[in-house]
Chain A
């Protein structure tokens, strides 16, 4: 079966949704070997994935994943990027997630360790003693209590271990890099997704629309970040009444200072932790605080809390300055991890 599919891809023939769904069943069940998986992913990337193919993969990934049954009332969102921008910036979406939750949003954060950056969201949560191996029911309780939780991709997508060798061997982006942020285990329908290429800005909302998404916002900055940047104009797409609409958001127009990319870049995991805490307790540099605020604004719009970026930025900055963001972090770490890790930093 897989050899026929690889042959098709080699001839640049698109697969149907059903064909992709079927081959993914074999791959995620461990019925194909590393060599076949590598060949398949490589040929698929060379051909370029269609929306049907991506949807076929995504549906099967979610079928094989663990799921969190949420108990919160209200709009639950996720905010994360595809990663892969290689710009070594601090953990913007993790930091912004705490700001959104402290401002009244509910964030079921899905993430992983970093593959191309210094530190991923999982590394931050783990540093403060969060158990990455928590079961779905425990995570549901954490979300109910704090309005924020973390779902470790490797825990929630155990079948992905069957394709991990192929992905490592390829050492390039595959469709799975794109699908990771779309496969939220809590089944959120409202999402801010940062993407590594402008090609996917309008494609992702279209794919998620077919899965019943409500509010979707995708972003990529002109300086290459898979997040909102305050050092460049940001290309943004939203899903609105079944249409994908586009805009360019200039940070200065929404009341922020233009920064330099190097102001938010980090070198070590220690830097990543310091930046994360520094933004939440408002001691980090202006560029980091404002980058977080702009990303949180996107999350607040998706969560139906803010009506536009100006309002979102104002809410986010006030949430940081008032100490609400850091207070949430303290309470979160005190019950899910090791508070001494946080106390030794302040």
Chain B
């Protein structure tokens, strides 16, 4: 029983440490946004080829 309680406490502590590694700080804008870039490329290719979107 003592062993089980200790395991449970250890797990709770690990989880707490995990959450503590997170913060409320906002992410900076990521410049390398491949999907957005691909959208622009596809749009440009479509407009050049006269493809109606």
Find out whether the CB atom of A87 lies under 8 angstroms from the CB atom of B25: no
Interface centre among A86, A172, A240, A307 (most CB of B within 10 A): A307
Min distance, Cβ A309 to any Cβ of chain B, angstroms: 8
Pair A311/B14 contact, Cβ less than 8 Å: yes
Given A307-B11, A307-B15, A311-B14: A245 touches B22 (CB 8 Å cut-off): yes
| Interface assignment of B3: CB less than 8 Å from any CB of chain A | no
Interface residues on A, range: 20 to 34
- C-alpha gap A245/B14 in the complex (Å): 17
> Do B23 and A223 touch (CB < 8 A)?
no
Q: How far in angstroms is the closest Cβ of chain A from B16?
A: 9
A301 within 8 Å of B by Cβ?
Answer: yes
Interfacial residues of chain A within 156-204, with CB under 8 A of chain B in the complex: 171-172, 196-198, 201-202
Asked if A224 is at the interface of the complex by the 8 Å CB criterion, the answer is yes
Number of interface residues of B (CB under 8 A): 23
Given A201-B27, A245-B24, A246-B25: A224 touches B14 (CB 8 Å cut-off): no
30 contacts between A and B (CB under 8 A): A84-B35, A85-B34, A86-B34, A87-B35, A171-B53, A172-B39, A197-B33, A197-B36, A198-B27, A198-B30, A198-B33, A201-B27, A222-B30, A223-B34, A224-B33, A238-B19, A238-B22, A240-B19, A240-B22, A244-B24, A245-B22, A245-B23, A246-B22, A246-B24, A246-B26, A247-B22, A248-B27, A301-B18, A308-B15, A311-B14
Given contacts A86-B38, A307-B11, 20 further A-B contacts (CB under 8 A): A84-B35, A172-B53, A197-B33, A198-B27, A198-B29, A198-B33, A224-B32, A224-B33, A224-B34, A224-B35, A238-B19, A245-B19, A245-B23, A246-B26, A246-B27, A247-B22, A247-B23, A301-B18, A307-B18, A309-B18
